[in-house]
Structure 1
Amino acid sequence: MGLRWTDTIDIAIELYEAHPDVDPQYIRFTDLHRWVCELPDFTDDPNRSNEGLLEGIQMAWIDEAS
């Protein structure tokens, strides 16, 4: 079973590993959306995302990076 938009922490961990030099505090949501969809384990519908989900992923990524 792959990652879904609601798998916030797991997505944040994978993004941290895939983009270790990126400061997630300054990422644009368009880039975040693309990077989540490009994760090999991501299987959810790209059109199901929204600002709240992306913000939650961003916050979890910030926590993971600190």
Structure 2
Amino acid sequence: MALKWVDSLDIALALIDEHPEVDPAQLHFPELMQWVIALEEFDDDPNRCGERILEAIQQAWIDEAD
């Protein structure tokens, strides 16, 4: 399944698998963006990402990590 920027929950779940030791609340957006782009399943234009998308991914990650 190809992940797009709109798939914030699925991206968050993939990031939990890739980086289980990370506290997502401490992650800076540039690093988060790079980690998303590096996901094997990710297939979207990096230029389509904005702060709101990264906030949604980060919040989904925080919610799922609890």
| Residue aligning to 1:54 | 54
d(CA) in 2 for partners of 1:55, 1:46? 15
Q: What does the per-residue CA deviation read over 1:2-41, in whole Å, with 9 as the maximum and x for residues that have no partner?
A: 1000001000000001000000001000000000000000
* Uncovered stretches (5+) of structure 1, i.e. residues with no partner: none
| Residue aligning to 1:24 | 24
TM-score (norm 1): 0.97
Q: Percent identity?
A: 53
d(CA) in 2 for partners of 1:11, 1:56? 10
d(CA) in 1 for partners of 2:8, 2:29? 14
Q: Which amino acid aligns with 2:61?
A: W
Residues paired across the two proteins, number: 66
Q: Which amino acid aligns with 2:57?
A: I
